[in-house]
Amino acid sequence: MITSLWAGLATGSIYTLIAIGYNITLTTAGVLNFAYANIVMIGAFVAVSGLALGLPIWAIFILAALVGAIVATAEERVAVRFLPKGDHAELITTIGASTVLTGATALIWGNTALRVDLFPQVPLQLFGGSVQPNSIILIIAALVLGVGLHFFNTRTKFGLASLAHAFDRESTMLRGVNVRWLSIVAFAASGALGGLIGPLVGMTTTATPFIAITLAIKGFIALYCGGVGSQAGAIIGGFGIGIIEALANLWLGPNYGDFAVFAVFLAILLIRPQGIVGTRMLRSV
Amino acid sequence: MSTVKVETRRGGSTVAARRIPRFVTALLWVVVIAVIAITPLLGLDDQTQRQVILTAIMVLLVSGVNLTFGWAGELNMGIPAMYAAGAYVGGYLYIHVLNDVVVGVIAGGLAALLIGIITGVPGLRLGGWVLAIVSFFVVILIPSILQVIPANVVGGSVGLIGIPAPMLFGQPLTSQGFFAFVIVVTGIWFAVYRNIVKSRVGDSLLIVQEGRVLAPSLGLSRYRLKLMAYAVGAIPAGMAGALYASLDRFIGPESFTLQLAINVLAASIIAGRRSIYPIIVGAAFVQFINVRSSDFAQYGLVVFGALLIVGGIAFAGGIAGLGRRLLKLVAPKRFRRGAASTATQSTARTDSDYAFPALPGKLLSVVDVRKTFGGAVALDGVSFEAKPGQITALIGPNGSGKTTMLNIINGFYPVTSGTVSLGERTISSMPSTKVARQGVARTFQTPVVPNGLKAIEVVASGHLASKSVPLIATILRLPFYGRVRRSELEEAHEILVQLGLDQFEQQPGDSLSLGTRRMIELARSLASKPSVVLLDEVASGLDTHEVIELARVLRLVSRAGATVVLVEHNFALVRSLADMVVVLADGAVLTSGPPAEIEKHPEVLRRFLGEMAGLSGTSIVATPSTTAKGK
């Protein structure tokens, strides 16, 4: 039971981290970057290659963040910058970008799942359940990032300016905020973050190109259940979904985790469409 | 004399000219399908036959995606799940119940329809990403679902084996026979798809895509229309699944992956998301690439992903549309649509004896309406009446609550307190679609004219909600459908003639000039035979000539019995037109009365008429009823 809870928190931390990445671009550029999970996976693959080359761990993280930032910026330039207004075009282009990245990672690193061994994993006994040290790091990272960005968005001028942009691009532009620049910075920052956490996520999931889309979808559900645009919501949604999935797998059987997540998602859609902590919805979602 | 001209035009263009082409297209389609269906007898080899069947299956899948993506403006990523539902239901039937491909195809379609409804009902409440993810997630669930259902039913992760060779009405089908069956099924569905999108339903869906306000103001429910398109779009996927079960006589979970969703979407993008016949090209292309890259699926991913990016950016008409645009650059003359739009304005038809058919005007009374947005008070106890057969003008400075008032009347905003009633009925608690169905029509400050419709269809769309035609009558093009369609197009034509706009009727509505679009909107609001017409700054952006024309039409409309409510800045127009003027200031009624009284009201004069009266914005110079200009 406790071990299951730990497992739930561990996968939940990954969903939270994905949801946080979505929120960064959503609340600044107004675009949900469906390819974000692919960037995380690229970070994991960079770690695999870095380890093979014998790079030190700090260098691996820096390299992963750098690659993530470059890929995300390139994506912004190609798939987001020229988006026509309305029509849900971003769905198509970012799903397209995600598909390209999945294919490209499979071409570069192959189809098989690769282990990411940054440091030796010895399960710890905590509160009567066993948990991998890496999972603890991920849980802490998700909490720290989520809480930190939540306060950044709600307490700082830059955070508020970017929120304003997401809600009303035109008037923000008139107020002298450079929205083009904001969009690029948001993608680069979220890409760097995605690359940075990639090696850690890869230690849990292994590095494999085809898991990205599952993470992308679960991350969206976490984002949505918590409340679109809210980093605090991302924490609640991500960990909530992770725990529900783990417990359903434990109590109902190994195939029921996804059903439980789907049921919760549909229930929230029907009962509380703005999400658990959400107050209003971004127009684009 | 002009009446005679109208008669011949109507006979020539809208009615008679249509009948023959429709009959010819149908016949042509039957011939094409028949010829393709017998190609195996003409020596098409087995390998190619299989590719053609797979392409036909892809065509079915793409048409389903197009219905949702192109016509409802929502992304359906759940096509593989719908396809799987059809395949497993079909396969199970063939093994355990009845081996008949017709039954299998129908059952497969219905199974997919069920998936469409289950995912569409919650997913479409918000649409956009939410629907995409809900439908995507069902695809992820496929392996788990197969694990959960006992293995002796659907074969678990191994797959369903032992599907018998296809039979039709108790007779075994040869491979040529099965080929022909697939082609005929695809051909029939394709005709159904075409008849759905090229119809009033298709028009309604285009209106739904034109933002949140237009469809409800015409009495159309966005949610219901989108759900309909999405759910109907699931049917061909299920049919395709049942066909696939008979083709390979084995179904495994690995056939229903997210990759398939991407492939189908790419084909839809290539064809153009609102395309009809290009779907075949898109499907064939994707099928071709798949055969080439079956060993290197990753190349396929990169190619299709890149296609999605390009297609998403080029959006308007998919890659086929890009080609068309290029073609236009090369051969500009042939493709330029009637340059007449810049030509001279038509002469107004001033048949003084013309009258609109009687409009069932009703008394509109607004009683003590308050509206607050958060803390801001937009309307603070507004009361007025607008009588049938009269033109009531709402005037007042910017921010005085005029448009808010209109939005409350037609149900876009709920009132904070107070009531709005139409005749005997209270309409202030109704959703806007229902208010529209009570006979309240309106125009918008910025004209909302949907993309993809001709002007005459835009006008006729005012009529869509008032006469509903069952989907089946639309698909089969039963005489009932034809009658409704013909009569609404004739009425639309009649209104356009009266407004002097019939020269534009075959042009795309959204390509017309601002003034013309305003008049088209007015025409659309009249097409529904409304009780109340709400006009939001209908004269702004019109030239003098157009304003005179507008005034004439509005007089006819009120004479026909409708209750006309006009929000207007142009006081000269109000003075010449309105029977009653309500002056709003800071969310309250400052005064009301006939225009002659209002223009002498000291407060009104001081606050907004002043010396600028008649000079700001568009102005009306001289119409018969205009008295000498105020000093």
Whether the predicted pLDDT of B313 surpasses 90: no
Residue B476 CA to residue B446 CA, distance in Å, equals 37
The closest alpha carbon to B532, from B390, B417, B431, B342, belongs to B390
The closest alpha carbon to B533, from B557, B568, B569, B560, belongs to B557
For every residue of B160-224, DSSP letters joined together read B--PPPPEETTEEPPHHHHHHHHHHHHHHHHHHHHHHHSSHHHHHHHHHHS-TTHHHHTT--HHH
Neighbours of B610 (CB within 10 A): 10
Residue keyed to tokens 């028009």: B203
- Residue B356 tokens read as 């609109």
At residue A157, the 3 state secondary structure works out as helix
Residue B12 CA to residue B31 CA, distance in Å, equals 29
Q: What are the pLDDT digits (tens) for A74-111?
A: 888 888 877 766 557 788 888 999 999 998 898 888 88
Residue keyed to tokens 């009845």: B98
Q: What pLDDT is attached to residue B353?
A: 52
Q: What pLDDT is attached to residue B160?
A: 86
- Residue B232 tokens read as 């109907």
Whether the predicted pLDDT of B336 surpasses 60: no
Nearest to B311 among A92, A100, A217 (CB): A92
Q: Which residues pair with B580 in a beta bridge?
A: B392
Q: What percentage of chain B carries pLDDT values higher than 90? A: 19
Q: What is the mean pLDDT of residues B120-126?
A: 87
Neighbours of B543 (CB within 10 A): 12
B317 neighbors B272 (Cβ within 8 angstroms):
yes
Whether the predicted pLDDT of B461 surpasses 90: no
Along the 285 residues of chain A, how does pLDDT read in single tens digits?
788 888 888 889 999 999 999 988 888 877 889 999 999 999 999 999 988 888 888 988 999 999 999 999 888 888 887 776 655 778 888 899 999 999 889 888 888 888 888 787 777 777 877 778 888 888 888 888 888 888 887 777 767 766 666 656 556 555 556 667 878 888 999 999 999 998 988 888 888 888 888 899 999 999 988 888 888 888 889 999 999 999 998 898 888 888 999 999 998 888 887 777 765 544 333
- Taking an 8 Å cut-off on Cβ atoms, the answer to whether B269 and A107 are in contact is no
Q: What are the pLDDT digits (tens) for B377-396?
A: 888 889 999 999 889 999 88
- Residue A4 tokens read as 């299951």
Mean pLDDT of chain B: 81
Whether the predicted pLDDT of B2 surpasses 50: no
Q: What are the pLDDT digits (tens) for B522-581?
A: 889 888 888 999 998 888 878 888 888 888 888 888 888 889 999 988 788 888 888 999
Q: What is the mean pLDDT of residues B311-320?
A: 64
Whether the predicted pLDDT of B621 surpasses 80: no
Chain A residue closest to B143 (CA)?
Answer: A255
* Chains A–B, number of C-beta pairs less than 8 Å apart: 136
Q: What are the pLDDT digits (tens) for B126-147?
A: 888 888 899 999 998 888 888 8
Q: What is the mean pLDDT of residues B386-412?
A: 87
Q: How many angstroms separate the CA of residue A266 from the nearest CA in chain B?
A: 6
- Taking an 8 Å cut-off on Cβ atoms, the answer to whether A96 and B147 are in contact is no
B566 neighbors B538 (Cβ within 8 angstroms):
yes
Q: How many angstroms separate the CA of residue A55 from the nearest CA in chain B?
A: 28
Confidence of residue B335 (pLDDT cuts 50, 70, 90): very low
- Taking an 8 Å cut-off on Cβ atoms, the answer to whether A273 and B126 are in contact is yes
Residue B455 CA to residue B502 CA, distance in Å, equals 9
Q: How many angstroms separate the CA of residue B227 from the nearest CA in chain A?
A: 15
Query: Cα(first)–Cα(last) distance of chain B, in Å?
Result: 42
Whether the predicted pLDDT of B288 surpasses 50: yes
Q: What pLDDT is attached to residue A170?
A: 59
Query: Which residues of B fall within a CB distance of 8 Å from A88?
Result: 73-75, 128-129
- Taking an 8 Å cut-off on Cβ atoms, the answer to whether A95 and B132 are in contact is yes
Q: What pLDDT is attached to residue A82?
A: 75
Q: What are the pLDDT digits (tens) for B181-236?
A: 999 999 999 999 999 998 888 888 888 888 788 888 888 888 999 999 999 999 99
Confidence of residue B102 (pLDDT cuts 50, 70, 90): very high
Is residue A62 less than 8 Å (CB to CB) from chain B? Answer: no
Whether the predicted pLDDT of B342 surpasses 60: no
At residue B449, the 3 state secondary structure works out as coil
Residue B316 CA to residue B319 CA, distance in Å, equals 9
Residue B226 CA to residue B220 CA, distance in Å, equals 11
B106 neighbors B185 (Cβ within 8 angstroms):
no
Q: What pLDDT is attached to residue B252?
A: 85
Residue A65 CA to residue A191 CA, distance in Å, equals 7
Residue B551 CA to residue B565 CA, distance in Å, equals 13
Lowest mean pLDDT among A109-118, B45-54, B360-369: A109-118
Q: Which residues of B274-306 are buried (b: 16+ CB within 10 A; e: fewer)?
A: bbbebbbbbbbbbbebbeebeeeebebbbbbbb
Q: What are the pLDDT digits (tens) for B597-608?
A: 887 777 777 776
Is residue A22 less than 8 Å (CB to CB) from chain B? Answer: no
Taking only residues 114 to 143 of chain A, the set having a beta carbon closer than 8 angstroms to any beta carbon of chain B reads none
Q: What is the mean pLDDT of residues B315-342?
A: 52
Residue B609 CA to residue B569 CA, distance in Å, equals 10
The closest alpha carbon to A13, from A245, A278, A274, belongs to A245
Q: What is the mean pLDDT of residues B2-19?
A: 41
Q: What percentage of chain B carries pLDDT values higher than 70? A: 85
The closest alpha carbon to B98, from B179, B176, B168, belongs to B168
Query: Between B213 and B239, whose confidence is greater?
Result: B239
Whether the predicted pLDDT of B455 surpasses 70: yes
Whether the predicted pLDDT of B319 surpasses 70: no
Chain B residue closest to A106 (CA)?
Answer: B298
